[in-house]
Amino acid sequence: MGTVTAPRSELSEEFRQMLEVLSEGSVHIHFDPYEDIDWTVATDPADPRWVLDPENDPLGAHPWYQAQPLDRRVEIGRVRFMNVIRTGAVFETLLVRSMMHYVTTLENFDPQFRYCLHEMTEECNHIQMFQELVNSVGDDVQGPHRHLRRALPIISLLFGYMPTLFMITVLAGEEPIDHYQKAVIRADGDAPDLVRRAVQIHIAEEARHISFADAWLRHTLPRQNALKRFGVSLWFPIVMRMGALEIIVPPYREMARVGVPKDVYIEAFLTGRTGRRLMAGYFNDMRRLVSETGLINPVSQRLWQRLGIWGEPSRYRGEPDRRAVLRD
């Protein structure tokens, strides 16, 4: 009988090592939403720690919100925050669906297969954890905009054919969630205990997911032809901006349910200075990624600027936001 040999892999040694580190990390540091969180602990809906942080949340910074009595700030803050959580859970279902398409394109012996399965397992845990959190807090939040929910099956199908766009979208969703959640547990006002625990677990595991998408793009982009790279350079900021809008800006109907006036909603989330500063600040590490992979050209840079997410790149991963540029 002849010998069947493994095909020569096209993966770089650096990428292989990264996959090894990430996969081992998934085995040794992971969480279970039912073993690691005590869901019997009730969350108080009137807990003052639901009040939105003016530094971290565009609505929290708005004078109208700050002028409301405490019980109203708590109610609005709780519904706003839980809507981000529900949106995050829905986004992660998209991620799992799309990544399952991606792994079916991989050949035998490819170490990405193992890592992607670890990541999907973790995302399934996050989806359960976030849904338990929503159920436990008790507000019937709807999560993302209706148009996105309707389009999810089609988007995941398209991503099955467009892995580069998929990996960019992963970062467009995970970077804003990561920034928002880190700020929640760093903030002075803190957060209710159950929220804090879920957010800590999520941040710990998301670091791997962000590293994978980042490393995948650093590995793949230089191997693409110039025309494709130019196309990606234009898509990149558009996808970032769309991802952040979906994750951070709640649908107006959700805010209307708790009495937020439309002009306050528009000013807080879309036109106000704090909202724009936070939006640009979510992408410091992404600006570093595009700078280091040659995706900045005069046209793409202009697009980043027009979309309000330009600024200097971070100097290292996770550098706090000091460098976003605001257009007046």
Footprint on this chain of Fe ion (rule: CB under 5 A): 92, 126, 206, 209
The nearer residue to Fe ion, 126 or 145, going by C-beta atoms, is 126
Contact (Cβ atoms closer than 8 angstroms) between residue 248 and residue 84: yes
Angle at 202 between CA 196 and CA 207, to 5 degrees: 130
Location of structure tokens 């003052």 = 48
| Cα angle 218, 221, 227; round to 5 | 160
Nearer to Fe ion by Cβ, of 180 and 310: the residue is: 180
Cβ 210 to Fe ion, closest distance in Å?
A: 7
* Nearest residue (CB) to Fe ion, 92 versus 254: 92
Give the nearer residue to Fe ion in terms of CB position, either 73 or 209. Answer: 209
Tell the smallest beta-carbon distance from residue 239 to Fe ion (Å): 16
CB of 47 to Fe ion, least distance (A): 24
Smallest distance, Fe ion to C-beta of residue 29, A: 14
Residue 208 Cβ vs Fe ion, minimum distance, rounded to whole Å? 8
- Supply 68's token pair: 């409301």
Nearer to Fe ion, 217 or 303 (CB): 217
Least distance from Fe ion to the Cβ atom of residue 297, Å = 29
Among left, alpha and beta (phi > 0; psi -120 to 50; other), residue 308 is left
Closest CA to 46 of 72, 26, 19: 72
Q: What is d(CA 213, CA 209) in angstroms, rounded to the nearest whole number?
A: 6
319/272 Cα distance (integer angstroms): 24
Q: Three-state SS for 105?
A: coil
Residue (145 or 209) nearer to Fe ion, CB: 209
206-231 core/surface letters (b: 16 or more CB in 10 A; e: else): bbbbbebbbbbbbbebeeeeeeebee
Please choose, from the candidates 91, 323, 49, 300, the residue with its C-alpha nearest in 3D space to the C-alpha of residue 202: 91
Smallest distance from Fe ion to CB 123, Å: 5
The terminus-to-terminus CA distance of the chain in angstroms comes to 72
By beta-carbon proximity to Fe ion, the closer residue of 181 and 233 is 181
- What the block records as the tokens of 253 is 């109907």
Q: In angstroms, give the least distance from the CB of 273 to Fe ion.
A: 30
Q: Which of 179/276 has CB closer to Fe ion?
A: 179
